[in-house]
């Protein structure tokens, strides 16, 4: 196991590692820090025999070992080669996207054209070039943006979505990160007065983080809470799980937070769901006019690239991705590079599985 060092630049992080572990420190991994835009390196003393093969996939690790290329070569030698090139080497396959890669990406809900461009990019020569090529394609075709800008304008954001997708957990993660590490004044509001324990869940986080907390039953309550929290830079509004097919509940929610209020809604969806259902839910939640998407439970699926299809189809910018329940660690700002990591790790997993099946 290595030790993690965080700093603004790689040089600074390496200096820290060498001070701590000695001049022979081995740098095992370099990755972007998901939140403060700095870097993290994992280093160990020179004598260690341990060597982690991949990063956690969430914070944009730079791949050191080209596992995907190795797996593709083995898959092609053992007969499951794409484009009918079984038994041939990689040479001669660079002229077009790999059909199996296109199929896999299409199955994640991505359009034929984007899947083809992504699969083509996945064929790039080295792991780093592949990552750069996929990131480049995503940069042009998929929009991502942070819910809170770099300025200090006040943001009032409500997380809306079906039940159990992780709205309350994500609010706790955002509240912890923005108040503790980004120094923002955060206030919490809940409108989840339906479910037993709905209020208590967020109230507990508010107490732990020592943040102002308001429970809102009516539009007047909300106006009052927003007045009371006028000093806060970020007000996070939790909402009850809403059945996308319950039109009355959606309207009720729109009347509370979705119309003539300074609240911006973010649609939160768990990526474990069936893709068509996710699209249907996003169409139903359009009533609340969401400004962006938050994708959760990416850790519980092997079809994580579905998030690319979802962003492509809904045309909503992706703000955050969550890949685990831990507060506040399991959240990352969405970016084309992070989505490229997701896609490439899912492809790697697919190749590994194919090899095991043979």
Ligand X SMILES: Nc1nc2c(ncn2[C@@H]2O[C@H](COP(=O)(O)OP(=O)(O)O)[C@@H](O)[C@H]2O)c(=O)[nH]1
Retrieve residue 27's tokens: 């740098």
Site for Mg ion in 96-125 (CB under 5 A): none
Among 76, 116, 144, 168, binds Mg ion (CB under 5 A): 168
Nearer to Mg ion (CB atom), residue 167 or residue 350: 167
User: Both ends of the chain: CA-CA distance in Å?
Assistant: 33
Residues 351 and 69: their CA atoms lie apart, in Å, by 10
Please, what is the minimum distance in Å from the beta carbon of residue 25 to ligand X?
33
Cβ distance 87 to 79 under 8 Å? yes
Residue 305 CA, chain-centre distance (Å), reads: 10
Region from 45-53, 66-74, 215-223, 316-324 binding ligand X, contact rule CB under 6 A: 316-324
Among 22, 96, 125, 164, binds ligand X (CB under 6 A): 164
322 touching ligand X, by CB under 6 A: yes
241 touching ligand X, by CB under 6 A: yes
Question: H or E element: which one contains 293?
Answer: strand 292-296
57 touching ligand X, by CB under 6 A: no
Site for ligand X in 71-100 (CB under 6 A): none
Beta-carbon contacts of residue 62 (< 8 Å; ≥ 6 apart): 29, 30, 31, 128, 131
Please, what is the minimum distance in Å from the beta carbon of residue 213 to Mg ion?
14
Interacting partner of 137 out of ligand X, Mg ion, none (Cβ under 5 to 8 A depending on kind): none
Show the binding pattern over residues 323-352: x = contacts ligand X (CB under 6 A), - = does not. Answer: xxx----x----------------------
User: What's the number of CA atoms in the CB half-sphere (13 Å) around residue 29?
Assistant: 25
Residue 269: name the closest of 245, 295, 288 by CA. 295
Please, what is the minimum distance in Å from the beta carbon of residue 330 to ligand X?
6
In the numeric block, the tokens 């068509």 are attached to 276
165 touching ligand X, by CB under 6 A: yes
Residue 227: strand, helix, or coil: helix
167 touching ligand X, by CB under 6 A: yes
**Contact footprint for Mg ion (CB under 5 A):** 167-168
């Amino acid at each position: 196991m290595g030790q993690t060092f965080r700093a603004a630049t790689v040089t600074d992080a390496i200096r820290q590692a060498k001070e701590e572990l000695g001049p022979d420190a081995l740098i095992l991994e370099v990755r972007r820090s998901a939140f403060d835009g700095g870097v993290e390196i994992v280093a160990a003393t020179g004598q260690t025999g341990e060597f982690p093969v991949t990063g956690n996939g969430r914070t944009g690790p730079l791949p050191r070992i080209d596992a995907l290329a190795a797996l593709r070569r083995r898959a092609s030698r053992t007969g499951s080669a794409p484009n009918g090139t079984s038994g041939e080497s990689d040479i001669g396959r660079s002229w077009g996207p790999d059909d199996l890669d296109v199929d896999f990406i299409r199955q994640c809900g991505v359009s034929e054209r984007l899947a083809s461009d992504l699969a083509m990019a996945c064929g790039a020569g080295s792991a780093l070039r592949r990552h750069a090529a996929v990131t480049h394609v995503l940069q042009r075709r998929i929009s991502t943006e942070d819910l809170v800008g770099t300025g200090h304008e006040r943001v009032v954001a409500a997380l809306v979505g079906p039940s159990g997708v992780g709205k309350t957990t994500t609010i706790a993660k955002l509240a912890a990160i923005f108040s503790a590490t980004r120094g923002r004044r955060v206030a919490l509001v809940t409108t989840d007065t339906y479910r037993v324990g709905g209020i208590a869940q967020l109230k507990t986080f508010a107490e732990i983080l020592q943040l102002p907390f308001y429970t809102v039953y009516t539009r007047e309550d909300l106006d009052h809470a927003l007045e009371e929290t006028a000093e806060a830079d970020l007000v996070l509004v939790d909402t009850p799980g809403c059945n996308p097919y319950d039109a009355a509940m959606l309207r009720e929610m729109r009347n509370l937070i979705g119309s003539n209020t300074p609240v911006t809604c973010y649609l939160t969806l768990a990526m474990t769901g069936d893709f068509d259902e996710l699209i249907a839910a996003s169409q139903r939640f359009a009533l609340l006019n969401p400004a962006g998407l938050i994708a959760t439970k990416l850790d519980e699926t092997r079809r994580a690239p579905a998030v690319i299809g979802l962003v492509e189809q809904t045309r909503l910018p992706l703000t955050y991705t969550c890949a685990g329940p831990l507060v506040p660690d399991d959240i990352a700002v969405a970016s084309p590079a992070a989505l490229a990591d997701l896609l490439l790790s899912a492809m790697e997993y697919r190749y590994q599985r194919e090899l095991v099946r043979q």
